[in-house]
Amino acid sequence: MLFPPRDDGVNLVANATLPNPSVMTIEIGTITMDLKSKDLTIGNATINNLTLRPGNHSTPLEGVVDMHTVTENLLPLLQAQRDSLRSGYLSLDAVTREVEYDGVMIPYYTEVMRDLVLSAKVPVNDLLINSVQGILHDNSSGLQSVLDDIRERSAAKGDITSSVGIKHRR
């Protein structure tokens, strides 16, 4: 998460690992997806100029998490994420809204890709640390060193919650 968002409104930058079990390389184009927690759409993400090569590969995505929607629905979101949060992550789904190639919507790719829901388990530790680092990037090297220390302890112990004494299920 980017705080504050970029000038273009983007506040989400991530990598998606996409599988292609075939032996073919497929040029898909630009995919626009809705980001969901259960049935609630909390934002969108775009993968530009996607080419799927055989095997798994990582590709960048950018998007917008609608913080107004998140805050207005915080209680139901937390309830929906309860089991995931206890395990230290958020469970989010990305559902294709549209596929374009050279600016033209491709209906057959859109329909097929809409049925292929991408599910992600986002580690809460990484989300918090990366977000806070973004906020503090230019503000304070002292706070940055504290975050670095938390990250090191988190890596050694498995998660940030254990490093500050919060217990949860594994």
Q: For the segment 25-83, what is each residue's pLDDT rounded down to a tens digit?
A: 999 999 999 999 999 999 999 999 999 999 998 999 999 999 999 999 999 999 999 99
Average pLDDT over residues 77-100: 94
pTM: 0.75
Is residue 157 one of the residues assigned to a domain?
Answer: no
Distance CA 31, CA 46 (A): 6
Predicted confidence (pLDDT) at residue 92 exceeds the cutoff of 80: yes
Is residue 3 one of the residues assigned to a domain?
Answer: no
Please report, for the domain that includes residue 44, its CATH number: 2.60.40
Q: What residue numbers bound the domain in which 102 lies?
A: 12-123
Is residue 133 one of the residues assigned to a domain?
Answer: no
Is residue 18 one of the residues assigned to a domain?
Answer: yes
Q: Is 123 helix (H, G, I), strand (E, B) or coil?
A: strand
Is residue 27 one of the residues assigned to a domain?
Answer: yes
Q: Which of 42, 39, 54 is nearest to 11 (CA)?
A: 42
Domain count across the chain: 1
* pLDDT mean across residues, the chain: 84
Q: What is the pLDDT of residue 167?
A: 47
